[in-house]
Amino acid sequence: MTQEIKILLREDEMPRQWYNIQADLAKPLPPPVDPAGNPIGPEALAPVFPMNLIEQEVSQERWIDIPDEILQVLAQWRPSPLHRARRLEKALGTPAKIYYKNEGVSPAGSHKPNTAIAQAYYNREFGIKRLTTETGAGQWGSALAMSCQLMGIECKVFMVRISFEQKPFRQMMMRTWGADCVASPSSETETGRRILAETPDTPGSLGIAISEAIEQAVTADDTRYSLGSVLNHVLMHQTVIGLETKKQFEQIGEYPDVLIGCAGGGSNFAGLTFPFLADKFNGKELRVVAVEPASCPTLTRAPYVYDSGDVAMMTPLLPMHSLGHGFIPPPIHAGGLRYHGIAPLVSHLLQEELIEATAIHQLECYQAAVLFAHTEGFIPAPETSHAIAQTIREAKQAQEEGKERIICLNWSGHGLMDLSGYEAYFNGQLADYSLPEEQLLRSLVSLEGLPRPQ
């Protein structure tokens, strides 16, 4: 007999409901507000998102049924395996047991299709014919491109120009899945034309791409906008990850001591951890750790404020830890996880001290990623490597304490489309970089005059 590596579920064991953590919060999440501090009602979001998703965004129901058609598409790759990282454990010489939930098995290579499929479905059900979105490196754009194709609606992706030129393969994935992907700024929107006239050779930015995508959504009746992280309903769609993981642990008669996820907008972290936090609310011992890059330290150094989701301030103000909507991530940093804010739900849980957060430098992350590839075989996405680096820290600590700790991380995606980051690492072109305090303070100036969450 060989040792068990993968804990697998049958398709009929897939979760049939999403878990909505809002139902179990002792202190409710502060509402989105306008710049004067007045709460924003669901109607205000209607030009941007379909009402069925806005209802999920504000729902206080603990469980929300997953429509059969969504389950049927998720079954193309779900349930995803929970792996025991025996070879990594051995290399570390740790008494800890390390498990990783492999979300890299989706066709787009990450957890992102879990919500992209649901969002394409609900938009189509609402009569929407076309979704717009932005993408930086291309992971979200490709997840939505595939999902719109599978659900039978059109997809328009505004891809930051510099990535469009430097990362042709993600762009080709989107085209293969039938999406219309253009470099942003484009000549197709007012915002894009204005910026091109002012600065013809701009590299573009996520802020510009979001503004272009929202502009096209609000100016056409049959078009809406789609966001890949941060919002409550997006995090809820990701809870299939944690719900499956709980069943997988039940199957082997274990329960994790520590859960770890990398945090950009917060969706994969929430997806793994929220269903377990429900147990923690009921008194279960459990540590939950979010890991972010030291160069973009939203949870560990940014204040808890109301801030906009985009540079042009087209979105309502959300209660979150934020580096300021004008934050420009340092170019020295290779991986994703560059967003200025983080999901209100994740921010709230940190405020309530129900989760922990830590920041790690990129060289330690790449070192961890390479050790992972050498032992487990799979090459992780640069974002995922943050969760792996923290896992290794925890495993080493278990060794020092001589404790058999059970650690589980969310392996949010593979890195086969991000090999240029690995190349830069191997060539010695990456350096550790802490966001300087004065740069942080300068970026926080954009928050002046905005209301504060109570």
Ligand X SMILES: *Cc1c(COP(=O)(O)O)cnc(C)c1O
Which positions lie near ligand X, rule CB under 6 A? 110, 112, 139, 229, 262-269, 336-337, 381, 383-384, 412-413
Least CB distance from residue 205 to ligand X, whole Å?
Answer: 17
Considering the complex, state which of residue 7 and residue 116 has its C-beta at the smaller distance from ligand X: 116
Instruction: Specify whether the CB–CB gap between 110 and 29 falls below 8 A.
Output: no
Least CB distance from residue 322 to ligand X, whole Å?
Answer: 15
Considering the complex, state which of residue 256 and residue 264 has its C-beta at the smaller distance from ligand X: 264
Considering the complex, state which of residue 132 and residue 384 has its C-beta at the smaller distance from ligand X: 384
Considering the complex, state which of residue 398 and residue 409 has its C-beta at the smaller distance from ligand X: 409
Considering the complex, state which of residue 262 and residue 398 has its C-beta at the smaller distance from ligand X: 262
Least CB distance from residue 364 to ligand X, whole Å?
Answer: 17
* Nearest alpha-carbon partner for 209 in 120, 135, 143: 135
Considering the complex, state which of residue 143 and residue 407 has its C-beta at the smaller distance from ligand X: 143
Cα 445 to Cα 57, 399, 440, 441, distances in angstroms: 29, 44, 9, 7
Least CB distance from residue 107 to ligand X, whole Å?
Answer: 13
For residues 385 and 369, give the distance between their C-alpha atoms in angstroms, rounded to a whole number: 5
Least CB distance from residue 259 to ligand X, whole Å?
Answer: 14
Cis status of the peptide bond prior to 436, with omega within 30 of 0: no
Least CB distance from residue 231 to ligand X, whole Å?
Answer: 10
Instruction: Specify whether the CB–CB gap between 276 and 286 falls below 8 A.
Output: yes
Residue 45 DSSP class: G
For residues 271 and 232, give the distance between their C-alpha atoms in angstroms, rounded to a whole number: 11
For residues 123 and 120, give the distance between their C-alpha atoms in angstroms, rounded to a whole number: 5
For residues 252 and 273, give the distance between their C-alpha atoms in angstroms, rounded to a whole number: 19
Considering the complex, state which of residue 192 and residue 275 has its C-beta at the smaller distance from ligand X: 275
How many CB atoms lie under 10 A from the CB of residue 259? 27
For residues 147 and 193, give the distance between their C-alpha atoms in angstroms, rounded to a whole number: 29
* Nearest alpha-carbon partner for 377 in 79, 83, 3: 83
Least CB distance from residue 236 to ligand X, whole Å?
Answer: 13
Least CB distance from residue 234 to ligand X, whole Å?
Answer: 8
From the number of C-beta atoms within 10 Å of its C-beta (0-12, 13-18, 19+), residue 31 rates as middle
How many CB atoms lie under 10 A from the CB of residue 444? 18
Those residues whose C-beta lies under 8 Å from the C-beta of residue 96, and which sit 6 or more positions away, are 89, 394, 395, 398, 399, 403, 404, 405, 406, 407
Least CB distance from residue 367 to ligand X, whole Å?
Answer: 18
Considering the complex, state which of residue 102 and residue 267 has its C-beta at the smaller distance from ligand X: 267
Considering the complex, state which of residue 186 and residue 412 has its C-beta at the smaller distance from ligand X: 412
**CB-nearest residue to ligand X:** 413
Considering the complex, state which of residue 210 and residue 450 has its C-beta at the smaller distance from ligand X: 210
Least CB distance from residue 413 to ligand X, whole Å?
Answer: 3
Alpha carbon 304 to its chain's center: 19
Start-to-end Cα distance in the chain: 58
For residues 219 and 322, give the distance between their C-alpha atoms in angstroms, rounded to a whole number: 29
From the number of C-beta atoms within 10 Å of its C-beta (0-12, 13-18, 19+), residue 353 rates as exposed
3-state secondary structure of 161: helix
Least CB distance from residue 190 to ligand X, whole Å?
Answer: 28
Considering the complex, state which of residue 7 and residue 263 has its C-beta at the smaller distance from ligand X: 263
Tokens of 34: 């306008």
